[in-house]
Chain A
Amino acid sequence: MKVLYFAWLRQRTGTGEEQVSPPEEVRDMAGLMRWLATRSPGHAAAFADPAQIRMAVNQDFCGPDHPVKPGDEIAFFPPVTGG
């Protein structure tokens, strides 16, 4: 699956986009965050405070209990500040 990072999550992970293949037991966004946090110290820093993180699956906002599957486009980002 494709994972996108925006704003300070991009800065802390050191990447805007990566292809990942999490193990089968990763079934939802909360599980994916826990697994991604183990990829590098930067990822760990990015996911250190889940309350500050918003997310989307296939370009729709969702919550941490949203399921994930191979082929999904996943995005993690801070609360939005447009307008």
Chain B
Amino acid sequence: MGVTPAIRVQEAPFDLAAETAALSAGRVDVGGIASFVGLCRADDGLQALVLEHYPGMTERSIARIAGQACERWPLTGCTVIHRHGRILPGEGIVLVLAASRHRVAALEACAFLIDWLKTGAPFWKREEFAGGAERWVESRHEDEARSREWG
């Protein structure tokens, strides 16, 4: 049975508990669900993150990589939700869920997906600080290296 990943790119916050429950609702073959929630930190007095993305390409590229995860690991379900727009400290930015019969597939697929989202999805973060200062977040070489390690 092929698994169809659930991909959403949205401004609204997401509900970790509800999304997790949806991956095992009405079924008894799911042995584990791995999750990653990326949160907005208030480093250096940050007041908000503003995420811009490339509508169309964003959804396509996430769907493509989530499809690869479903081929590479025996998943029973997979959810990726990435927010855009203005995000406040403490709020969630991105949610990755990977469900499988066994933990290794779920944990590895989850790590693969978030590593890839850092380097392969067309999002750009702008930081806003008190007093009106702002700056674009620069990409990190460590993220590129981690993403490449998955092959």
Contacts and interface: CB of A to CB of B under 8 A. Distances in A.
Given A59-B60, A80-B122, A4 B136 contact: no
B125 to A, nearest CB: 5
Interface string A42-69: 0000000000000010011100000000
Contacts of B53: 6, 82
B67 interface: no
Interface residues of B, number: 28
* B interface SS class: mixed
A24 B11 CA distance: 41
Contact of A59 (B38, B57, B123, B136): B57
A75 B58 CA distance: 13
Interface of B: 38, 51-54, 56-57, 60-61, 82, 93-94, 114, 117-126, 136-139, 143
Interface of A: 4, 6-8, 10, 56, 59-61, 75, 77-83
